[in-house]
Amino acid sequence: MDWNKMVDSLTPEMAARLQQGVELGKWEDGTPLTEQQRESAMQALILWQARFGQQTQHLTVGADGRINHLSKQELKRQFQEQHLATLKPQ
């Protein structure tokens, strides 16, 4: 398998589906992932995130290919900002 060609062909939507499958352990139709599928999907996601993603979330792969490790304080701040944004009165 040519990983570079495969990763280059992934769209953001396809990457999101792979990520959902890895996180839930099953595909959208409910079919469970095999261990090999899960490992391959994870490898593809890591490569895709490193190449195309502008991820800054904790434990995601940054553009430099390194895993983002955020401090506990930064994680708390992000969590509070997200929930404050969703709880604003209308």
Render pLDDT for 15-63 as a digit per residue (tens, 0 to 9). Answer: 889 989 998 999 999 999 999 999 999 888 888 887 876 666 656 666 6
pLDDT surpassing 60 at residue 82: yes
Query: Residue 47: which domain range?
Result: 3-86
- What local confidence, expressed as pLDDT, does residue 55 receive? 62
Contact between 62 and 55 (Cβ < 8 Å):
yes
Give the chain's domain count: 1
Closest CA to 52 of 7, 5, 90, 6: 7
Bridge partner list, 26: 32
Gap between the Cα atoms of 83 and 89, Å rounded: 12
pTM of the model: 0.59
pLDDT surpassing 60 at residue 72: yes
**What are the residues whose beta carbons fall under 8 Å from the beta carbon of 8, sequence distance 6 or more?**
51
Gap between the Cα atoms of 57 and 69, Å rounded: 8
